[in-house]
Amino acid sequence: MTKQLFHVCILFIAGVWPFAGCKKGDDKNLPKITVSRLYVSTSAVGSKPLSNILVFDPADLAPLKFRTYLSDTLGYGGIALNDSTFRGYQFSTKLRGVRGFSVDVAGALSQGSGFVDSSLVSPKEIAYRRKDSLLVISHNSDSTIRVYSKPDTLSGRKNKPTNKLKLDGKPQGICFDQTDLYVVLEGDRKEIQKATINKTTSLIFPVKNKITVTGATNLRGIFYYSKQDILFITDIGLETDLSDGKVFIIEGATAKFLTNSIVEPTRVISGVSTLLGNPVDIDFDQREDKNLIYVAENGNKKILVFKLSDSGDIAPFINQDLASPPEAIYLDAR
């Protein structure tokens, strides 16, 4: 995504196993089953359908094992999974609409259906809340958050969001936690805002709480781990510098939002050894015996995995090269 998540098409996933993760949903209470799959949306582009979704299974052992891929329509974007209907979502820059795929027990993908919203000219990230079937999109050009209720029922070319929220900055990464939606603002703002979405009406309320991150340059991806109240954020730094990326780890995040604080990160992962250049998305393996941080490193075409305790200029626990730049990731770990 060359520093930005250009998401324009949404993919639907059906399968047998439930999915776990916080950044793209609110599914942290799923049964504990030994699964570790990383879904990667990449920037594979060309004049014909390409392999723009990769699945690594297992994702918690080095080196990562390439399991399967989906040849889909032109373009690329963010990815989110619905663990109850086993559908997922990925944007395509060409279609401004939808393509779908299903996931079987082994993690293999097959294509499905979807919908188009022609006004989605610059979507950046998606998040899904399974309890009330809401798909949320951060849209950069008009600085809005868009909410689509029951996206699995949408079809055709003339679709509009159920609700929209106008922001005072350009949104990038987004992450759900119950009714709260965390939104990263790009550029000089160095800011994360927290909005609330009503469970019954899908109405998204104006932002009341925010934090500003000390030491940030240009924020992108976000993941919130509610059990330990930890916020993970990526920073791409200067777009032309492939060695100045950062991962910020902020503990005790809830209290900081209540006071609208300027926040000093608890730990920062950065430096030449980290291989972080343009880290655009982030996810977290919440299992107690894992606690692994997954990063989509766009500039250097890698998936990087760090440990929760990591800090400073440290080499990644896993360093996986990709053929195409990763745009977004979703981890199913349980």
Q: Which helix (H) or strand (E) holds 258?
A: helix 253-258
CATH number of 36-333: 2.120.10.30
30/8 Cα distance (integer angstroms): 29
Phi, psi of 126 (to 5 degrees): -130, 155
78/181 Cα distance (integer angstroms): 16
Q: What phi-psi label fits residue 228: left (phi over 0), alpha (psi between -120 and 50 degrees) or beta?
A: alpha
Question: Which pLDDT value is given to residue 143?
Answer: 95
What single DSSP character describes residue 125? E
Between the alpha carbon of residue 151 and those of residues 85, 129, 162, 222, the distances in Å are 12, 11, 10, 23
Give domain limits for the chain: 36-333
Q: Report the share of the chain in percent with pLDDT over 70.
A: 85
pLDDT over 50 (residue 4):
no
Q: Which residue has the higher pLDDT, 8 or 33?
A: 33
Question: Which pLDDT value is given to residue 46?
Answer: 58
DSSP string, 191-221: EEEEEEE-TTT-PEEEEEEEEEETT-SSEEE
Average pLDDT on 3-29 reads 40
3-state SS assignment for residue 229:
coil
Question: Which pLDDT value is given to residue 243?
Answer: 96
- Out of 161-170, 204-213, 311-320, the most confident range is 311-320
pLDDT over 60 (residue 21):
no
Question: Which pLDDT value is given to residue 98?
Answer: 61
Which token pair is 86? 């086993």
Question: Which pLDDT value is given to residue 52?
Answer: 81
Q: Where is average pLDDT lowest: 4-8, 51-55, 118-122?
A: 4-8
3-state SS assignment for residue 77:
coil
pLDDT tens track for 44-83: 665 555 678 888 999 998 888 887 777 655 566 789 887 6
329/88 Cα distance (integer angstroms): 12
299/245 Cα distance (integer angstroms): 10
Question: Which pLDDT value is given to residue 256?
Answer: 95
Q: Report the share of the chain in percent with pLDDT over 90.
A: 50
Question: Which pLDDT value is given to residue 49?
Answer: 55
Long-range contacts, stretch 181-187, CB < 8 angstroms, 24+ apart: 181/127, 181/136, 181/145, 182/222, 182/224, 182/231, 183/138, 183/145, 183/207, 184/219, 184/220, 184/221, 184/222, 184/233, 185/219, 186/4, 186/140, 186/218, 186/219, 186/220, 187/218
Which token pair is 132? 């009330």
Going by pLDDT thresholds of 50, 70 and 90, the confidence category of residue 323 is: confident
Among residues 81, 84, 89, the alpha carbon closest in space to that of 22 is found at 81
Average pLDDT on 122-150 reads 89
Question: Which pLDDT value is given to residue 324?
Answer: 87
